């Protein structure tokens, strides 16, 4: 029998009893109000905490900005001849996707609040948010410049049940979304990819398209869709990958970056190997870049941080609010849901990935540079990511040694967001996206230091892409996101295939899929051969590892 | 000195108007081009307005006027406007550059001199060249035309771009080609930023070969700066611990300033040279097969060290010559063992890029001396025929430009612009890496998507192999 549990192991409906959520939220708001009263006139530097996002009253965001930043000073926007950069739309699908999305919007607001102290709707904010005058009836008049009125996330929220989306709508982020951005159903996909992909896909295609078009109309140069979903369940996996094809057909010019949460081995959704394999085929064919993440790695990172924080030696030295996992500094730890920490890591990944496109820096990296640099062959678009440092020590002076440690950690296997060991596998390409107080010489020094311990494919021996963004993440002085196109993703895929084959041999649960219109056994065999072809490509690359790097004979010219 | 001054006064008084310099329009492309462009104008402005040029007031004024005419126009309120067009495909860098210039308060960019779009070229040469180029051709060429119309007489274009990325390299190649079509008589010199050898953009070798091969067809000269070399100068000579792009760009701007600031038009003359680009090309690019130029400077050091140093022309020139023949980019770590081949002995055979290059053969050299007693400096050592390829006489291959006006904070300083074998190795490395990648067909789909086919790559490879072979056979 299929269970009604969600795709990934750590996200169980039982944790989301609505009663519990209500109590929790009430507590949150009270605490915030209290803090705001206490801190009226507090310094701007602390604006990352005690945030209450928009409330029903119009112009709430503006007030929030004024309260939490130096906006009171009131300065006009500088009118540059070159306005407007690109925008991105986040499409969060399924329970997992929406929970991560929620963390993302929370952190994105905090980040922009920390940078944009004047409360002016600027280029950087516009990449993820619309500025809307909620007093205008109807669609809400978009305002392109001036003060922040009310910010609306450039997002489409899709879930085939109502729980998580309702929770978001009742939570502190409720005014960042409006009902026009949501698509929900009540029946759920029952952890069945085919239900999500085939049933809900055809049922909601028009509606999804309409919301996507609407979100695209609000952009003046839409560059990228970020899809967040999990692979193991029904909605995120099935409908999430259905959406990819829709996006490809409707917006062929717009990049599709997919953040996919892979099930871990001990996953308790029994059909997760089916769902993941079927979803993999779609990712292979329709995504520009996939950032695979697994729950186990996120969990390990959190355990590591916990040990650090609680060990007497370091605990006191860690700067508050600087954990890669923390959403705010005001909540006591006991109040945070355990997977909030995990979701915050993913949210931070997306923030860091887009920071160089949003903020200034001496070496910018636009989103379209990611696939250009990191995807040598269209199919090999799976990027292993790592975030460092996981926390910042409280003292401000960073000795170079500690800065160098940040670079070393980015290559160690305990900092990867998927269980993988890039150091002992083959690099096709590697991007280092640095934020904060780091200069080009630090970057070059570390590349030269680390290069000898890493193996690059013969035709890309200097496969580095670098960027320097001057704005660090909130609470940090500097940070690094490493993206690797590395054969170390292969074991995840191999393991997935093995789990699939074990299940498929017994034909276990197969009838749940085959009874869906449009599903045939060939769907499974095609999916598994698509995955095998991908694994084979990685095998072939791995086979070149032991070969000496030789220059090929060059063109001869007559002199 | 004392005797000379009245004569100088006399000449300046009489002929000032007749000897106005021709102007150069600078085109800054992409993030790199715009960041460097700003530093160049800032360096030019600060140098020409520094209170003590260690020369007479009159002479300083003439120098200033000449610099102004070359690189700036004047607004009614006396604020100088850079003769520049800023082009980028994303807004952040241009906004930053404009505001930095405005903040300087002394010079700025023209209000309508920039062009930018929302979405960059994504490190894709093909996107810059085949998509952005044709799409924005008219707007960009219009901006350039307006800037040209502001010049009384145009010497040519100085195009600043990197070759690793997409906008500077791809759009830069496109714009240069258009300039060649529309202003065929004006000279085009491209300032090229050569990427770090250890990689800063993964497709940098592809982008570089496409850029170089296209520029070889449309540009008159490529002035090359290697990031690695400039980075080393920052670390070793300037003593900067944490090097930023700003530091690197300032060193670069210093080197360019030392080349482009005014110098006397000839031996014994005290007028400033009218057509710097034209003279530069005439001296340094005697054959279209050889158009890659490099710059070396001496001295270069931090202000702290400068206070404790004195220099003689003989010492500076001795170092500079050894830097040239041993192919050192800076005065530290020069190999003093390298000697020119003895004349009369049979030549050691043609140079091969695979063999260690010891002696760096030149096609042409230009030494630029700035500062005290520059007229008395002896540059005879650069006239040795052994330094040059056999088919050019030193009298044609070597030139010296001078001015008494000191450059920036250096009482005496020398720059050497040379067309020599020194860029063969880096070029060979880039072509080799690109070739290895090309053989695996990696990343090609990103280029063919925008109409740059394998044939185009092969054309570029062929042209550059030809260039490498020609330089090797000097």
Cα–Cα distance measured from residue A350 to residue B355, given in angstroms and rounded to the nearest whole number: 48
Q: Residue B75: its pLDDT value, please?
A: 87
| B354 to chain A: closest CA residue | A551
Q: Are the CB atoms for B266 and B400 separated by under 8 Å?
A: no
Mean pLDDT of B63-76: 92
Are B162 and B30 in contact, with CB atoms under 8 Å apart?
A: yes
CB A154 within 8 Å of CB A87: yes
Nearest CB partner across the interface for A462, out of B98, B197, B462: B197
By residue count, chain B amounts to: 474
Both tokens of A304, joined, read: 């590591």
The helix or strand, by DSSP H or E, that contains position A211, with its residue range, turns out to be: helix A201-217
A290 and A260 in contact (C-beta within 8 Å)?
A: yes
Judging contacts by C-beta atoms under 8 Å, the chain A residues touching residue B470 are 559
CA distance B318 to B315: 5
Q: Can you read off the two tokens belonging to residue A91?
A: 């499409």
Could you tell me which residues are beta bridge partners of residue B305? Answer: none
Inter-residue contact B219 to B291 (CB < 8 Å): yes
A235: nearest Cα among A199, A286, A181 = A199
Residues of B in contact with A466 (CB under 8 A): 199-200
Whole-number pLDDT of residue B303: 86
Evaluate if residue B81 carries a pLDDT over 70. Answer: yes
Residues ≥6 apart with Cβ < 8 Å to A404: A442, A445, A446, A449
State the pLDDT at residue A303.
86
* pLDDT at position A13: 34
The more confident residue out of B59 and B88 is B88
- Whether the ω angle into residue A389 lies within 30 degrees of 0, i.e. cis, is yes
Q: Check B437 against A460: CB less than 8 A apart.
A: yes
Which residues from chain B sit within 8 angstroms of residue A448, using beta carbons?
198
Q: Which chain B residue is nearest to residue A88, measuring alpha carbons?
A: B119
SS3 category, A433: strand
What are B331-388's pLDDT values in tens digits? 988 999 898 886 544 445 455 554 445 799 999 999 999 999 999 999 999 999 999 9
Residue B307, pLDDT score:
82
pLDDT of residue B7: 37
The answer, for A206 touching chain B at a CB cutoff of 8 Å, is no
Contact state of B98 with A80 under an 8 Å Cβ cutoff: yes
Those of residues 127-156 in A touching chain B at CB distance below 8 A are: none
CA dihedral for B337, B339, B342, B347, sign (positive or negative):
positive
Contact call for residues A549 and A458 (beta carbons, < 8 A): yes
Q: Which residues of A73-82 are buried (b: 16+ CB within 10 A; e: fewer)?
A: eeeeeeebbb
Distance CA A356, CA A474 (A): 15
Give the residue, B116 or B355, on which the prediction is more confident: B116
Residue B320 has pLDDT above 90, yes or no: yes
Q: Which region among A95-104, A134-143, B23-32, B135-144 has the lowest average model confidence (pLDDT)?
A: A134-143
Contact A376 B469 (CB under 8 A): no
Q: Which residues pair with residue B398 across a beta bridge?
A: B365
- Contact flag A376-B442 (C-beta cutoff 8 Å): yes
Q: Is A437 at the interface with chain B, CB within 8 A?
A: no
**Strands of the A141-142 sheet, one edge to the other:** A141-142, A129-133, A150-153
Alpha-carbon gap, residue B240 to B242, rounded angstroms: 6
Q: Which residue has the tokens 């700066």?
A: B225
- Between B166, B199, B435, which is nearest A462 by CB? B199
Q: Which residues of B touch A559 (CB under 8 A)?
A: 466, 469-470, 473
**Interhelix angle A94-115/A163-170, nearest 10 degrees:** 20
By C-alpha distance, the chain B residue nearest A432 is: B200
Q: Is A519 helix (H, G, I), strand (E, B) or coil?
A: coil
- Tokens 């072509």 map to which residue? B431
Q: What's the confidence (pLDDT) of residue B29?
A: 97
**Three-state SS annotation for B78-115:** CCEEECEEEEECCHHHHHHHHHHHHHHCCEEECCCCEE
CB contact under 8 A, B466 and A557: yes
Answer for the pair A255, A226: CB distance below 8 angstroms, yes or no.
no
3-class SS at A522? helix
In this complex, the residue of B95, B112, B436 whose CB is nearest that of residue A459 is B436
Collapsed DSSP state (helix, strand, coil) of residue A95: helix
- The pLDDT, as a whole number, for residue A305 is 82
Q: How many CB atoms lie within 10 A of CB A548?
A: 5
Q: What is the pLDDT of residue B136?
A: 96
Q: Mutate which of A398, A400, A439 to disrupt the B interface (most B C-beta within 10 Å)?
A: A439
Closest CA to B390 of B424, B360, B363, B430: B363
Please give the angle made by the CA atoms of A150, A151 and A156, to the nearest 5 degrees: 135
State ipTM.
Answer: 0.88
Predicted confidence at residue A62, as pLDDT, reads 53
pLDDT at residue number B263: 93
For chain B, say whether A404 makes contact (Cβ under 8 Å): no
- Check if A205 contacts B (Cβ < 8 Å): no
Per-residue pLDDT, A392 = 63
Q: What is the pLDDT along chain A (559 residues), one digit of tens a residue?
A: 343 444 443 333 333 233 333 323 223 333 332 333 233 333 322 233 333 333 333 345 555 555 555 443 333 333 444 556 899 999 999 999 999 999 999 999 999 999 988 889 988 999 999 998 877 655 556 776 788 888 999 999 999 999 999 999 998 999 999 888 999 999 999 999 999 999 999 999 999 999 999 999 999 899 999 999 999 999 999 999 999 999 999 999 999 999 999 998 777 789 999 999 999 999 999 999 999 999 999 999 888 888 877 765 555 566 766 666 665 433 334 345 667 888 999 999 999 999 999 999 999 999 999 999 999 999 999 999 999 988 765 444 556 678 999 999 999 999 999 999 999 999 999 999 999 999 999 999 999 999 999 999 999 999 999 999 999 998 888 999 999 999 999 999 999 999 999 999 999 899 999 999 999 999 999 999 999 999 999 999 999 988 887 888 898 887 6
Whether B11 shows a pLDDT value over 50: the answer reads no
The dihedral of CA B20, B22, B27, B32: what is its sign? negative
pLDDT at residue A54 in the model: 33
| CA-angle at A488, arms to A485 and A489, nearest 5° | 75
Residue written as tokens 């040239």? B324
Over residues B170-215, the pLDDT tens digits come to: 999 999 999 999 999 999 999 999 999 988 999 999 999 999 999 9
Angstrom distance (rounded) from CA B268 to CA B279:
17
Interface contact A465-B201, CB threshold 8 A: yes
Distance in Å, alpha carbon of B113 to nearest chain A alpha carbon: 10
- Whether residues B122 and A366 touch (CB distance < 8 A) is answered with yes
- Test B433 with A83 for CB contact under 8 angstroms: no
Across the interface, do B114 and A366 touch by the CB < 8 Å criterion? no
Edge-to-edge strand list for the sheet holding B80-82: B72-74, B80-82, B107-109
Q: Number of A:B CB contacts under 8 A?
A: 163
Section B130-139 average pLDDT: 96
- Residue-level pLDDT at A66: 52
In this structure, what DSSP letter does residue A44 have? G
> For residue A397, how many other CB atoms are within 10 A of its CB?
7
The rounded mean pLDDT for chain B is: 90
Q: Is A514 exposed, middle or buried (0-12, 13-18, 19+ CB in 10 A)?
A: middle
Least confident range from A284-298, B258-272, B305-319: namely: B258-272
pLDDT tens track for A197-237? 999 999 999 999 999 999 999 998 999 999 999 999 999 99
Cβ contacts of A373 on chain B, cutoff 8 Å: 123, 201-203
Q: How far is A233 from chain B (nearest CA, A)?
A: 33
- Where does residue A343 rank: exposed (0-12), middle (13-18), buried (19+ CB within 10 A)? buried
Q: Among A78, A85, A458, whose Cβ lies nearest the Cβ of B91?
A: A85
Going by C-beta distance under 8 Å and a sequence separation of 6 or more, which residues neighbour residue B468?
Answer: B353, B424, B427, B428, B431
Q: Torsion angle of alpha carbons B446, B448, B452, B456, nearest 10°?
A: 110
Residue B211's CB is within 10 A of a number of other CB atoms, namely: 29
Give the mean pLDDT of B119-141.
95
Residues in chain B closer than 8 A to A441 (CB atoms): 231, 234-235, 240-244
Tokens for B291, please give them: 């158009």
Mean pLDDT of B38-45: 96
SS (H, E, C) chain B: CCCHHHHHHHHHHHHHHHHCCCEEEEEEEHHHHHHHHHHHHHHHHHHHCCCCCCCCHHHHHHHHHHHHHHHEEECCCCCEEECEEEEECCHHHHHHHHHHHHHHCCEEECCCCEEECCCCCCCCHHHHHHHHHHHHHHHHHHHHHHHHHCCCCEEEEEEEEECCCCHHHHHHHHHHHHHHHHCCCCEEEEEEEECCCCCCCCCHHHHHHHHHHHHHHHCCEEEEEEHHHHHHHHHHHCCCCCCCHHHHHHHHHHHHHHHHCCCECCCCCCCECCCHHHHHHHHHCCCCCCCEEEEEEECCCCHHHHCCCCCCHHHHHHHHHHHHHCCCCCCCCCCCCCCCCCCCCCCCCCCCCCCCCCCCCEEEEEEEEEECCHHHCCCHHHHCHHHECCCCCHHHHEEEEEECCCECCECEEEEEEEEEHHHHHHHHHHHHHHHHHHHHCCCHHHHHCCCCCHHHHHHHHHHHHHHHHHHHCC
According to DSSP, residue A393 is labeled: B
A419 neighbors A443 (Cβ within 8 angstroms): no
pLDDT of residue A139: 55
Task: Please judge whether A460 and B202 are an interchain contact, meaning their C-beta atoms are less than 8 angstroms apart.
Answer: yes
Do residue A458 and residue B436 have CB atoms under 8 angstroms apart?
yes
| DSSP H or E run through A104 | helix A94-115
The pTM of the full predicted model, rounded to 2 decimals, is 0.88
Helix axes B30-48, B57-71, angle to 10 degrees: 160
Q: What is the pLDDT of residue A68?
A: 52
């Amino acid at each position: 029998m299929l269970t009604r549990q969600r795709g990934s192991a750590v996200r169980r409906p039982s944790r989301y009893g609505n009663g519990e959520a209500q109590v929790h939220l009430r507590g949150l708001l009270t605490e915030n109000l209290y803090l705001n009263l206490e801190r009226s006139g507090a310094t701007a530097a602390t604006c990352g905490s005690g945030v209450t996002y928009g409330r029903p009253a119009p112009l709430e965001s503006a007030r929030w900005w004024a309260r939490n930043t130096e906006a009171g000073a009131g300065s006009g926007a500088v009118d540059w001849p070159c306005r407007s950069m690109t925008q991105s739309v986040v499409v969060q699908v399924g329970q997992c996707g929406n929970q991560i999305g929620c963390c993302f919007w929370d952190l994105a607001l905090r980040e922009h609040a920390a940078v944009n102290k004047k409360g002016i709707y600027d280029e950087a904010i516009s990449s993820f948010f619309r500025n809307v005058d909620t007093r205008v009836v109807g669609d809400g008049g978009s305002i392109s410049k001036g003060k922040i009125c009310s910010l609306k996330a450039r997002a489409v929220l899709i879930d085939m049940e109502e729980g998580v989306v309702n929770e978001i709508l009742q939570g502190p982020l409720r005014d960042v979304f409006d009902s026009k951005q949501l698509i929900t159903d009540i029946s759920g996909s029952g952890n069945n990819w085919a239900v999500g992909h085939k049933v809900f896909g055809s049922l909601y295609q028009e509606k999804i398209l309409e919301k996507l078009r609407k979100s695209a109309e609000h952009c003046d140069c839409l560059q990228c869709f970020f899809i967040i979903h999990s692979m193991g369940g029904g909605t995120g996996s099935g409908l999430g990958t259905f959406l990819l094809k829709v996006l490809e057909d409707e917006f062929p010019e717009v990049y599709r970056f997919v953040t996919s949460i892979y099930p871990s081995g001990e996953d308790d959704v029994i059909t997760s190997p089916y769902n993941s394999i079927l979803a993999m085929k779609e990712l292979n064919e329709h995504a520009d870049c996939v950032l695979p993440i697994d729950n186990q790695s996120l969990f390990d990172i959190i355990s590591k941080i916990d040990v650090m924080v609680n060990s007497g030696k370091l605990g006191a030295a860690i700067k508050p609010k600087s954990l890669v996992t923390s959403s705010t500094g005001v909540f006591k730890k006991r109040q945070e849901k355990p997977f909030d920490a995990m979701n915050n890591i993913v949210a931070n990944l997306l923030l860091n990935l887009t920071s160089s496109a949003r903020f200034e820096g001496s070496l910018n990296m636009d989103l379209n540079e990611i696939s250009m640099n990191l995807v040598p062959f269209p199919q090999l678009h799976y990027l292993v990511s790592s975030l460092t440092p996981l926390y910042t020590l409280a003292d401000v002076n960073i000795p170079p040694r500690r800065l160098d440690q940040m670079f070393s950690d980015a290559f160690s296997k305990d900092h990867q967001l998927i269980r993988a060991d890039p150091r002992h596998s083959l690099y096709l390409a590697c991007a280092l996206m640095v934020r904060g107080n780091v200069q080009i010489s630090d970057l070059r020094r570390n590349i030269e230091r680390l290069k000898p311990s890493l193996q690059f494919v013969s035709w890309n021996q200097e496969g580095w892409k670098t960027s320097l963004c001057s704005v660090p993440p909130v609470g940090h002085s500097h940070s690094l996101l490493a993206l690797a196109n590395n054969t170390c993703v292969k074991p995840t895929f191999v393991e997935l295939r093995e789990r699939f084959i074990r299940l498929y041999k017994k034909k276990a649960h197969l009838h749940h899929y085959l009874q869906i219109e449009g599903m045939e056994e060939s769907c499974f065999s095609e999916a598994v051969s698509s995955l095998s072809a991908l694994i084979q490509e990685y095998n072939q690359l791995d086979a070149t590892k032991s070969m000496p790097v030789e220059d090929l004979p060059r063109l001869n010219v007559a002199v | 000195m004392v005797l000379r001054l009245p004569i100088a006064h006399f000449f300046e008084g009489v002929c000032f108007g007749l000897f106005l310099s021709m102007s150069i329009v600078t085109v800054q492309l992409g993030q790199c081009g715009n960041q460097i462009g700003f530093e160049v104008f800032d360096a030019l402005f600060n140098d020409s307005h520094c209170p003590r040029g260690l020369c007479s007031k009159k002479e300083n004024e003439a120098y200033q006027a000449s610099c102004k005419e070359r690189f700036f126009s004047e607004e009614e309120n006396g604020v100088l406007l850079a003769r520049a067009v800023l082009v980028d495909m994303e807004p952040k860098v241009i906004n930053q550059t404009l505001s930095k210039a405005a903040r300087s308060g002394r010079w700025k960019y023209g209000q309508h001199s920039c062009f930018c779009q929302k979405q960059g070229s994504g490190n894709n040469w093909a996107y810059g060249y085949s998509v952005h180029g044709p799409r924005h051709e008219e707007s960009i060429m219009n901006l350039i035309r307006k800037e040209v119309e502001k010049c009384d007489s145009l010497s040519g274009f100085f195009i600043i771009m990197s070759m690793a990325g997409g906008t500077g390299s791809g759009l830069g190649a496109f714009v240069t080609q258009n300039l060649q079509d529309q202003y065929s008589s004006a000279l085009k010199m491209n300032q090229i930023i050569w990427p770090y050898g250890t990689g800063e953009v993964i497709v940098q070798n592809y982008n570089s070969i496409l850029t170089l091969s296209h520029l070889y067809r449309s540009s008159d000269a490529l002035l090359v700066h290697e990031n690695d070399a400039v980075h080393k100068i920052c670390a070793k000579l300037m003593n900067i611990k944490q090097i930023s792009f700003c530091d690197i760009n300032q060193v670069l701007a210093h080197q360019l300033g030392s080349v482009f600031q005014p110098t006397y038009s000839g031996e014994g003359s005290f007028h400033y040279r009218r057509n710097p680009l034209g003279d530069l090309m005439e001296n340094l690019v005697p054959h279209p097969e050889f158009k890659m130029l490099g710059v070396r400077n001496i001295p270069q050091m931090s202000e702290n060290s400068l206070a404790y140093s004195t220099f003689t022309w003989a010492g500076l020139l001795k170092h500079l010559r050894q830097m040239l023949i041993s192919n050192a980019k800076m005065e530290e770590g020069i190999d003093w063992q390298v000697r020119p081949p003895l004349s009369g002995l049979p030549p050691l055979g043609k140079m091969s890029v695979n063999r260690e290059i010891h002696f760096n053969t030149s096609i042409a050299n230009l030494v630029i001396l700035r500062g005290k007693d520059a007229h008395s400096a002896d540059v005879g050592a650069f006239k040795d025929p052994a330094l040059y390829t056999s088919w050019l006489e030193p009298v044609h291959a070597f030139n010296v430009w001078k001015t008494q006006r000191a450059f920036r904070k250096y009482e005496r300083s020398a720059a050497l612009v040379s067309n020599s074998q020194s860029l063969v190795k880096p070029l060979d490395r880039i072509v080799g890496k690109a070739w290895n990648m090309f053989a695996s067909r990696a990343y090609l789909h990103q280029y063919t998507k925008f109409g740059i086919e394998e044939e185009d790559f092969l054309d570029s490879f062929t042209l550059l192999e030809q260039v490498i072979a020609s330089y090797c056979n000097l």
